[in-house]
Amino acid sequence: MKMVPMTGLILNEHEGEVHDAELDYYGQRLATCSSDKTIKIYSINNGNKTLLANIKGHHGPVWQICWSHPVSGHLLASCSYDKRVVVWKESNDWFNIFEFTHESSVNAVAWAPHQHGTILASASSDGSVGVHVFNKEWSSKSFSAHHNGCNTVAWAPYKELLFGSDQTDFGKKLVLASGGCDNLVKIWTVENDQWVQVGEINCHTDWVRDVAWTCTIGDNRQLIASCFEDKTVVVSHSDDYSKWFSVRMHLFDSRVWTVSWSKIGNVLAVFAETNKVSLWKENTIGHWISCSDIDDTKGVED
C-alpha cells in the first residue's frame, strides 16, 4: 500500500459540509461527499490535488462513500438522505450503474472483502440492512436489523487458514456487523440464503455511531471497535462470531463519531465531536493507551 502525503491538503470545492472522504485502494484518488448533494473525485500527487470529477445525481446530502477493491473495477458506492444507495462506475466519466431505494435515509455503505465477490451492504434509518450482490447482474435483499434505525455496517475481514484445522471456516465466512439506535451491535451471517443474527454486543447506553472490524496479524484475533453517543469506545473480540467479550477502551469528553483500524489491525483511530483524532494501541497487559492526538489547530501531539 502506497503512503500518500496529505499534510496541508485543503479541499474547498464543496458548497456544503463535507461528511466523508476516502482514498482509493492505491491511495492515488480521493473521493469526498457533501451536504451539497455532490461527490467529488481528486487526484492526489505529492500532497497536491487536482479535481477530476464532480458527480451529481443524489437529491439530498450524501453521507458516505466507499471505493471497491480494484478486482471489481473502478466502482464507488454512495448513500444519501434521499433514501438511495448508488454504485458509480468510471468509464471516461462516472455513470450510475445501480441503485437501491430504502424507506428512509441511508446512513452507511461498505463493500465486502473482494474474495467473496462484488457485494455491498447499506444501513438505513428505516432499521434495515441491504445486501447488494453483482453476479452478471445486480440483486438486492434487505432485512430488519435495528427497530429504531441502523447507522453503520462493517464486514468481517477475510483471512485464509489462520485459525487451525478445526476452524477452517472461521475468518472466511461472509459475516456482517451492524450498529443502530437500539444501542446494539449485531452480528449477521448467511444461512440457507437468509441473513440471520449470530451474535450481539450489548454494553452501551446510547446510539451506536460506527463500527470497524479487523483481524490482527500475529495472534489473529477478530476485533470489533464500536463508538457511541454515550462518549465511549468499546473493543470486542470473539473466537466464533457468536460470543463477544468487550472492554471499554476509554470514556471521551465528547461524543465519538468514527473509528478506524490501521491496515495491520493494531492501531485504532478515533474521531470525536471536538474535531480531534486520537490513536490508540493495546499494551502487553491488554490495556488500550493513547499513542498520539491529532488536533485541527495543534497538529500531532505525542
Domain of residue 168, residue span? 145-301
Q: 197 and 66, same structural domain?
A: no
Q: 248 and 152, same structural domain?
A: yes
Residue 160 included in any domain: yes
Q: 183 and 264, same structural domain?
A: yes
- Domain closes at, from 101, 131, 161: 131
pLDDT at 295: 53
Residue 137 included in any domain: no
DSSP H or E segment with residue 279: strand 276-282
pTM of the complete model beyond 0.75: yes
The CATH number linked to 112 is 2.130.10.10
Q: 295 and 153, same structural domain?
A: yes
DSSP letters, 191-247, are ETTEEEEEEEE---SS-EEEEEEEE-TTT--EEEEEEETTSEEEEEEESSSS--EEE
Residue 42 included in any domain: yes
Residue 258 included in any domain: yes
The 8-class DSSP code of residue 11 comes to -
Q: Which of 158, 116, 119, 157 is nearest to 261 (CA)?
A: 157
Amino acid identity, position 183: N
Q: 150 and 96, same structural domain?
A: no
Q: 77 and 10, same structural domain?
A: yes
Q: 66 and 207, same structural domain?
A: no
Q: 156 and 122, same structural domain?
A: no
Residue 136 included in any domain: no
Instruction: List, for residues 105-117, the tens digit of each pLDDT value.
Output: 999 999 999 999 9
Instruction: List, for residues 122-164, the tens digit of each pLDDT value.
Output: 999 999 999 999 999 999 999 999 999 999 999 999 876 544 5
Q: 242 and 163, same structural domain?
A: yes
Instruction: List, for residues 150-160, the tens digit of each pLDDT value.
Output: 999 999 998 76
Decide if pLDDT at 77 tops 60.
Answer: yes
- CA dist 259 → 12, 227, 240, 256, 268 (Å): 24, 7, 23, 8, 7
Decide if pLDDT at 179 tops 70.
Answer: yes
Q: 48 and 26, same structural domain?
A: yes
CA pair distance 22, 174, nearest whole angstrom: 24
CA pair distance 214, 68, nearest whole angstrom: 17
Decide if pLDDT at 47 tops 80.
Answer: no
Q: 297 and 212, same structural domain?
A: yes
Q: 126 and 14, same structural domain?
A: yes
The answer to whether 251 touches 234, Cβ cutoff 8 Å, is: no
The answer to whether 95 touches 88, Cβ cutoff 8 Å, is: yes
- Domain closes at, from 108, 131, 154: 131
Decide if pLDDT at 245 tops 50.
Answer: yes
Q: Which of 111, 90, 201 is nearest to 156 (CA)?
A: 111
Residue 101 included in any domain: yes
Counted domains in the chain = 2
Q: Which of 98, 102, 86, 81 is nearest to 34 (CA)?
A: 81
Decide if pLDDT at 37 tops 90.
Answer: yes
pLDDT at 4: 42
